[in-house]
Amino acid sequence: MLETERKLNNKKILITGGAGFLGSNLTRRLIEDNEITLFIKPKTDLSRIKDILDKFEIIEGDLLDKELVKEVLKDKNYLFHFAWQTDLKKSMEKPLEDVRNDIIGLLTILECCKEANKNIKIIFASTVTVIGIPEKIPSNELALELPLSVYDANKLLAEKYLKVYYENFNIKFCVLRLANVFGEYQKIDNPNRGVLNFMIGKALRGEPLTVYGKGDFIRDYSYVGNFIDAFIIAAESENTNGKVYVLGSGEGKTFLEVVEKIKKIIEEKGKKVEIQFNDVETHKINKRDFVADSTRFRNDTRWIPRISFEEGLRKTIEFYWDN
């Protein structure tokens, strides 16, 4: 049983997309005891990591630059691959752009691993939405994979390429398919990504919280700190090599239930919050029900979520209230 947050020691770690939501949280966890390198695009927003910029190396570049990627990863123990276009709507509008940056970018990484560092292990952040509409709840790794967007299809394709390079060239990997993640350092002004954080942002700005339909669709909302534990354990464990896992809290909550909890916590601080209902149509992937069955990952690693939903939600609201 995990009683304290998980860490690594004396490792050389490369994090693509290291200035993003997951990357910044992982970087903060690991910078004290490891040699960290972040690979980011030029002109990337560094606001999430601006207070710790002197504690790691930053490489600016394009994942399609094979010589640069090969040089950066040649001596690393682990690669946490978080660099990805995360806006579902944008993926449907500009699919070729996503294939170029995300899929060709991943293949470049895999070719560089094959040529320059066969001992590295890649830990990839995927999504539970690669299965589309689940046939049963809770859902595990055996669920039929029927993605409904370009974003989800590309995540699934990336998983398959990782498996191909593992089977043919022994490039170690582990995939974590994440349920709805929330927590510190996620944007609170992006309506297309991180719905729970977006609702926190609206409440703090004094805007009404919009609930689509009855708000009765069920999701597995999972605090980022628990997932950072999981990424680290996935890297360390030999049991996870070559495997794909579904990851979440295992607890389903309706969207309305979550919005009402946000309202309650913020109103405890003396700020009034209004909830509005709206029947505007949304992408069908946003209306599905989902709860994660993470039994396989728990059995292989003994991981359990350390922080409850309510504790994680309060920590997240406190962070943005103070900042």
pLDDT in tens, 243-286: 999 999 999 999 999 999 999 999 999 999 999 998 766 656 66
Of 36, 20, 56, 295, which Cα lies nearest the Cα of 184?
Answer: 20
Per-residue pLDDT band at 55 (split at 50, 70, 90): very high
Helix (H) or strand (E) segment spanning residue 14: strand 12-16
Helices (H) and strands (E) in the chain, counts: 11, 13
206 occurs within a structural domain: no
Q: How far apart, in Å, are the Cα atoms of 26 and each of 18, 73, 85, 175, 228?
A: 8, 18, 19, 16, 6
67 occurs within a structural domain: yes
204 occurs within a structural domain: no
181 occurs within a structural domain: yes
165 occurs within a structural domain: yes
Distance CA 60, CA 43 (A): 8
- H helix intervals, the chain: 21-30, 66-73, 88-93, 95-98, 105-116, 150-169, 195-204, 224-236, 255-268, 295-301, 309-322
Per-residue pLDDT reduced to its tens digit, 276-306? 998 766 656 666 899 999 999 999 999 999 9
Angle at 267 between CA 263 and CA 273, to 5 degrees: 55
Q: Residue 125: give its domain's CATH number.
A: 3.40.50.720
60 occurs within a structural domain: yes
8 A C-beta contact, residue 255 and residue 217: yes
Q: What is the pLDDT of residue 3?
A: 54
Q: Which residue segment(s) compose the domain that 158 sits in?
A: 12-185+221-250+293-306
160 occurs within a structural domain: yes
Segment 96-108 shows an average pLDDT of 96
Q: What is the pLDDT of residue 87?
A: 85
Q: What is the CA radius of gyration of the chain?
A: 19
Per-residue pLDDT reduced to its tens digit, 134-156? 999 999 999 999 999 999 999 99
Segment 16-44 shows an average pLDDT of 97
Q: What is the pLDDT of residue 5?
A: 84
pTM: 0.95
Per-residue pLDDT reduced to its tens digit, 112-125? 999 999 999 999 99
Per-residue pLDDT reduced to its tens digit, 179-231? 999 999 999 998 878 899 999 999 999 999 999 888 999 999 999 999 999 99
Give the chain's domain count.
1
Cis peptide before 138 (omega within 30 of 0): yes
180 occurs within a structural domain: yes
